[in-house]
Amino acid sequence: MKRKLSNQFLRNFLVIFFLTILDTVLAFILLSFSSGLISGSLAKNRYPASAIIKEDYKQIDASAVVQNGGGVQVVDKEYRVVYSSGLDTIGKDKLTAGEFTTFLTESKSKSYHYDILYHPKGEFWLIVTFPTSIRLDFSMVYNKEAAAGDFMRAGGAIAFVMFIYLLILALSTFIYSRITAASITVPLRKLCDGTRLLREGDYSVRVDLRLKNEFAELQNTFNDMAARIEHEISMREKSEEDRRRLILDISHDLKNPMSSIQGYAELLIKKKDMVEQEREEHLEVILNNCKRANRLLTELFELSQMDSPEFSLKLARTDICEYIRQICGELVPQLEREGFKYEFDIIEESVSVMMDTDRFSRIIQNLANNAVRYNPQGTLVSVSLMVENNQVVIDFGDDGIGIPAHLADNIFKPFVRVDNSRNSKTGGSGLGLSIAKKIAQAHGGDLTLCLNGNKGSTFRITVPTT
């Protein structure tokens, strides 16, 4: 691609090169034409000395020259200025021979045009002076009578100068075409390299062109695209990893109860002479394991239901203070039965929120069950409700064994439990908090674990007010 673009640029610049030569030739022709045009129109050429000279200098009519800004002087053979009219650049009445010679030789380079003519009969010099306006001395002089060797030398010098001129022009055309092409091909190459690396799976690639033109826009778009792809890929990898872990956890958690059910059922079939009490104990183990497997599958179903696009809440405007007060009332018998202390602090106001009361009660019920299941008797369970920045904040806490701070985020992931051995005894699936968080988020709020350094654990539920 680089070569193609560079060659394209070279071709374009060669066209410019030839156009420049053409322009130069045209410029020379125009210059010579305008030189002729100007010289014909100038006063100095309209009133030359030869046009006004007379044998008797006294009869010379200098009026036209003077009217056009010029002057006429007559110098006799003694170098005296015997006649002067209009512009006078001699400034003396009498000159020495040396002064007159100097005047004659230097008259070419001054900013005046002198036309000097000697009248042999009258023995005087007629000097017609005009101020120089524009000087355009462009003309080619060709004289057939000149020596042939001179022609050769002059022609050779002109050809050499032309050759050098064309060489410099061609070289600068080539260098300029390469520089211009590079301003396109270098950023393009960097972008191509970046795209290739991206295609090969290096999503961390970014392009830095250090430019401020359209390429910079392209660079920003490319970098944005690469960053987005990198983010998407890492998200996909993470969700793939989560999915793999979930399947592993499900199979692991289902394996134990299912093997236990199978083992005890086989034992019941094989051992015909089993005493009634032993038989009932085995059946109870089977029942408990069935319940555990059933609970796990029900919760898994609930969790996947909430991830499906069809999932929706049955929202209704509800006074959340009244609702939480009622739920707390329903928790009292359970807490008392388990030997737990409790305190509730719910503001005496009516705060309305849009909520699915059935689903929302699942959050509170799960937090209450956990508080009772994982903490010793005598633990204080507290529920408070307040409104902060258009948000209802419900804190559900206990002063029990607590949850380690490093698990604050992960505890809401499926199958994450503080202590697996302890939970297998309590029958926890590790799905309750995941479900509760998803319900809170579906309400536009959240469920988080507060790390306030207090004893025990405090969960915070937030829901926006309407």
**Binding residues for ligand ADP (CB under 6 A):** 366, 370-371, 374-375, 398, 400-401, 403, 411, 417-418, 423, 428-433, 457
**Is the Cα torsion angle 256, 257, 261, 262 positive or negative in sign?**
negative
State which residue, 110 or 422, has the beta carbon closest to ligand ADP.
Answer: 422
What would the two tokens of residue 448 be? 């988080």
Least distance between ligand ADP and beta carbon 404 (Å): 9
315 residue type, one letter: L
State which residue, 177 or 366, has the beta carbon closest to ligand ADP.
Answer: 366
Residues 6+ apart with CB under 8 A from 348: 321
Least distance between ligand ADP and beta carbon 321 (Å): 23
* CB atoms near residue 108 (< 10 Å): 8
Least distance between ligand ADP and beta carbon 188 (Å): 54
Per-residue H/E/C for 367-401: HHHHHHHHCCCCCEEEEEEEEECCEEEEEEEECCC
Residue 223 CA to residue 208 CA, distance in Å, equals 9
Nearest of 162, 141, 138, 137 to residue 150 by alpha carbon: 141
State which residue, 205 or 435, has the beta carbon closest to ligand ADP.
Answer: 435
CA-CA distances (angstroms) from residue 201 to 39, 188, 194?
76, 20, 11
Least distance between ligand ADP and beta carbon 311 (Å): 19
State which residue, 190 or 413, has the beta carbon closest to ligand ADP.
Answer: 413
Residue 233 CA to residue 227 CA, distance in Å, equals 10
Residue sitting closest to ligand ADP (CB): 428
What would the two tokens of residue 72 be? 């006429």
Torsion of CA 400, 404, 405, 410, to 10 degrees: -110
State which residue, 124 or 415, has the beta carbon closest to ligand ADP.
Answer: 415
Strands (E), 399-456: 446-450
Least distance between ligand ADP and beta carbon 454 (Å): 12
State which residue, 355 or 371, has the beta carbon closest to ligand ADP.
Answer: 371
Residues in a beta bridge with 462: 393, 446
Least distance between ligand ADP and beta carbon 421 (Å): 11
State which residue, 170 or 416, has the beta carbon closest to ligand ADP.
Answer: 416
State which residue, 250 or 418, has the beta carbon closest to ligand ADP.
Answer: 418
Least distance between ligand ADP and beta carbon 370 (Å): 3
State which residue, 207 or 403, has the beta carbon closest to ligand ADP.
Answer: 403
State which residue, 218 or 401, has the beta carbon closest to ligand ADP.
Answer: 401
Give residue for tokens 């199979």. Answer: 251
Asked whether the beta carbons of 137 and 69 are under 8 A apart, the reply is: no
Residue 131 CA to residue 65 CA, distance in Å, equals 11
Asked whether the beta carbons of 64 and 47 are under 8 A apart, the reply is: yes
Residue 428 CA to residue 421 CA, distance in Å, equals 10
DSSP label at 429?
-
173: left (phi over 0), alpha (psi -120 to 50) or beta: alpha
Least distance between ligand ADP and beta carbon 401 (Å): 5
